[in-house]
Structure 1
Amino acid sequence: MAKHHDSITDELADFIRTQPMFFVATAPIEGRINLSPKGLDGSFQILGPHGVAFLNVTGSGNETAAHLLQDPRITLMFCSFTKKPMILRLYGRGRAVHRRDADWAALEARFPERPGKRQIVVVEVTSVITSCGFGVPMMDLVGQRTMLPDWAERRGEDGIRDYWREKNLTSFDGLPTGLLDGE
């Protein structure tokens, strides 16, 4: 039932674009494996048949960025909760792009304006696998939560940077995230 694909085809890109959420998995050399749900409209962009990027907004941890500094392997998973089941996994090598990086501006322009944007994670996709998804329940989407963008808006840029210094400079396992390097 699993099918291997050479790239992100137009059909697979359409599937990705219709999913309201996705999951990101990374792991350091030693320590916790991280699996995070991601959402927010417009936060995922397909860069080409072998490239994707997602906006990594401020959150309680910064595991993805820390892990990618040690080991660039990353898996992204999309699954349908609607009538037509499917699971799509993108395997690849990722890197966190920060505001100080040369490619930040070009990448940032691909995403909607969002308060609290922290990094853009770029993934070079090396493998695409789909599977049936027959065991995934069907659910109805009520809507996107606004709590995180609302929180970031209330904190403002200075408040967000203070939060980064307090909570996002290291992972839960104490690994550096590279977030404010050079400042």
Structure 2
Amino acid sequence: MKKLIISLSVLFSGLLFSQEAAETPMQTNNRWTFGGGIGFGFGSNNYFNLSAAPRVGYMLTSDLEGGVLGSVSWQKSNAYSSTMFGIGPFLNYYIARTFFVSANYQHYFINYKDKIYDVKANANEDALYLGGGYMQRIGNNSFLQLGLMYNVLWKENSSIFSSGLSPNIGFVVGL
């Protein structure tokens, strides 16, 4: 249920943003791209999550984009709270503006507090996501991206993440 709410929220906010972007004429000489996603979730034990992931890219060729992306996530529940920041480079290769192959590296800074045992911890973790997905045009030069990424650096018992697999929904303007 949490993933459904997050997905619908990101989709709705992106569609609102894309309506504004679609009204401006496309600039063919501008190679900069902008996008990202936002999300939130609710769950049992008063769980709440709020996240944002902005990105800025530059079209190196007509099909290859490189750039920087960031992420911030706040989570809290009756049992714990955490704040996580991530930043790193990405590379996307677009296939006929319908599919994309992607690689991105993220370095995460994590601040965690266990409310039950009164334990605080700070950690860092690296992630190298490889994957791809489908793109749907939603405006003049705006796209919805639906993809699946896998963190090839993920290790089951030593990662803060529960899985190496990461579905993603995002938006990009400027392609």
| TM-score (norm. length: structure 1) | 0.31
> Does 1 or 2 have the higher relative contact order (CA < 8 Å, sep 6+)?
1
Greater share of residues in helix: 1
Larger Rg: 2
